[in-house]
Structure 1
Amino acid sequence: MKESFIDELENNQYFSKMIKSDLNLKSNPVAIKFILHKEDIPKNIDKIQEKIRHCEMVQKAARGDVFYSTSEEQLCKGGFSAIGLEKIPDKIASGEFYHGLGRFKSLGAAKRTLDSIPKIDLDSYAIIYSPLTKADFLPDVVVIITNPVQAMKVSQALVYTVGGRVEADFSGIQSVCADAVASPFINKRPNITFGCSGSRKFADIKDDEVIIGLNGENLGCTVNALNNI
């Protein structure tokens, strides 16, 4: 098992180095891992000691921190329900919460949007957040904070091998949670999102940045393609 950890760490260090070099990224790609049971949390990873939003946790990992979080440390209820830590609260599921914020003209519009947002049905105990270069595990999802030119290069890499189109799926709410993590995990394909008001306000996502979520199982193919374009 120890050798497996070493192999994964070496792979992730290589992938991270290539992604940062090919895209000229300033921050780290972030590895996300879902943990179903408490006893499966690695002994070398500590719980985060503050209560913040999922998008802020992604940003902390992009800046170098490694930690895990349960639902107790997740400040945003929409976020933790989208990534499978808790069931979605009734007021969010009904659309009432976002309608009350003035984000939708009608409750029906809010409800239709919330119904279509990806939600992971795992009931996980915890989620690990780590810079990809420090991750000694196979990530379920890798999140990259990029500018539009870097996102263009990733899009080119995604169609390099088999062609086709890159389809972005978002609605301007629950972006770093539902769009960048839940969607790639559920659909097994990448997603690009423009962020949301919460992530730009609380997680310091810049005006000129977008977020990409990649399925961890296919990360090697994306990296190889980036090296070839």
Structure 2
Amino acid sequence: MAVEFRKLGEGMKNILDLKWSPVGVRLMAAEKDVPNAEVLTKHRYCQAVMKARKGYNVLLKKDELSCPAAASSCGFRELTDNLKSGKALVGFGIVSDEAVGQRMFAGMPKLQPGLIKQIHLFPLDRFDYNPDVVIVEDEVEKLMWIVLAYLNMKGGERVQASTAVLQAACVDATIIPYLENRLNYSFGCYGCRDATDIGMNEAILGFPGRFLPSIIEILKYLSKKAIPMSRSKQAYQHLLSYQMVANEGHAVKSPNSGRIKNLFKTILRATSIFKVKIERKNVLFQVGYPSKSKLRLNDMTIVFYELFTYVGD
């Protein structure tokens, strides 16, 4: 049965509440027309990714890839001497030593010259093309769940990232996943942050397209419990609750707090639905079980079960 990549893309976007579309990338060995695709002129690769994540179906041909570093890594043309020597990176203020720039480019993964002729990028939730690579450029927390899904898929093996903080979209999120057959992630780079609208709280990752069905299945599993629980920040709320009680001091220092605690325990044993108000000095304990359990303390509301944890005997 054919894989319906569009539905998988929709699933990823909905499960993670992605702001942008996941991007499908096809590295095409021959030049040919792609129906309804906009042929870009003088675009950087990261700019093509930006357009695709916004819903555009685009085609980037080798002569129209304007970034010399990306063009070199895609096997379209030789790296310029200014980049290869490290002088350009010193000029940009990225490094202070040309030797560092030289090493960065010397270790940059590349496709073999002539391997591909053009690159097709499209919003994965809108088209059913079979992607060689899937790119997701979005908020960091949302990418984290994709990495966790991949880790599950790999049986718990730790996920390694490779980056030179340079060529994040073209190399880190596309060429490395394609050549090394694995997920890779990056915090972005000087170039993509200068040339696109990627947000300061956003990052990028890529993985081989054939992993997409498995990753979506695991994301569905994570969405049942792990994702909503983590996003609810219950443990953080517990900390705030403790701090509120401790700072107020009334419940912690009350000589009768043990009696109050025992009273609540007795009520809990007696019934599953109740409302009790006990007013004592300036402290109001308001209890509603199970869905409205709260403790109000000088107009501050915290979850009720903190009372049992932090009220002393």
- 1:164 matched to which residue of 2? 157
1:25 lines up with 2:18 in the alignment: yes
Distance in 1 (CA, whole Å) between partners of 2:208 and 2:178 is 6
Task: Within 5 Å, give how 1:124-135 maps onto structure 2.
Answer: 124-135=116-127
Match status 1:100 vs 2:91: yes
User: Which residue of the partner structure matches residue 212 of structure 2?
Assistant: 219
User: C-alpha distance in 1, partners of 2:37/2:142?
Assistant: 32
Alignment deviations for residues 20-56 of structure 1 (CA, whole Å, 9 cap, x no partner): 0111101100011111122xx2451445243221111
Q: Give the AA of the match of 1:127.
A: I
Match of 1:148 in 2: 140
Secondary structure of the corresponding residue to residue 13 of structure 2: helix
How far off is 1:155 after superposition? 1.6
For residues 95 and 67 of structure 1, what CA distance do their matches in structure 2 show? 32
Q: Determine helix, strand or coil for the equivalent of 1:179.
A: helix
3-state DSSP class of the match of 1:108? helix
Seen in structure 2, the aligned counterparts of structure 1 residues 187 and 76 have a Cα distance that, compared at 3 Å, is: same
After TM superposition, the structure 1 = structure 2 runs for residues 192-211 of structure 1, keeping only pairs within 5 Å, are 192-211=185-204
Alpha-carbon offset, residue 15 of structure 1: 1.0
Structure 1 spans left out of the alignment, 5+ residues: none
Name the CA distance, whole Å, in 2 between partners of 1:152 and 1:201: 24
* Structure 1 position 78 matched with structure 2 position 69: yes
For 2:34 and 2:50, the matched residues in 1 are separated by 23
Aligned residue type for 2:142: Q
Find the residue that maps to 2:111 and give its secondary structure.
Answer: coil
Equivalent in the alignment of 1:64? 55
Matching residue's letter, 1:73: E
Tell me: CA distance 1:43–1:109, structure 2 relative to 1, closer, same or farther (3 Å). Answer: closer
TM-fit CA distance, 1:185: 0.6
The offset of 1:105, in angstroms, is 2.3
Q: Distance in 2 between matches of 1:227 and 1:193?
A: 24
Aligned CA RMSD, in angstroms, stands at 1.8
More displaced, 126-135 or 180-189? Answer: 126-135
- Secondary structure at the aligned position of 2:39 is classed as coil
Deviations 1:123-170 (A, max 9, x none): 221110111123333211111012121122112111113111111111
Between stretches 68-77 and 178-187, larger displacement belongs to: 68-77
Whether the 8 Å CA contact 2:72–2:110 is kept in 1: the answer is yes
Q: Name which structure has the greater RCO, CA cutoff 8 Å, separation 6+.
A: 1
Structure 2: which 5+ residue stretches go unaligned? 223-313
- Structure 2 residue 182 is the aligned partner of structure 1 residue 189: yes
Deviations 1:59-91 (A, max 9, x none): 101111112111222121112222333332333
Cα deviation, 1:149-205, whole Å, max 9, x if unaligned, reads 112211211111311111111121111111111110111001110111221122111
Separation in 2 of the partners of 1:24 and 1:47?
27
* TM-score (ref. length: structure 1): 0.89
Q: State the TM-score, normalizing by the size of structure 2.
A: 0.66
Give the distance between the partners of 2:130 and 2:206, measured in 1 at CA.
15
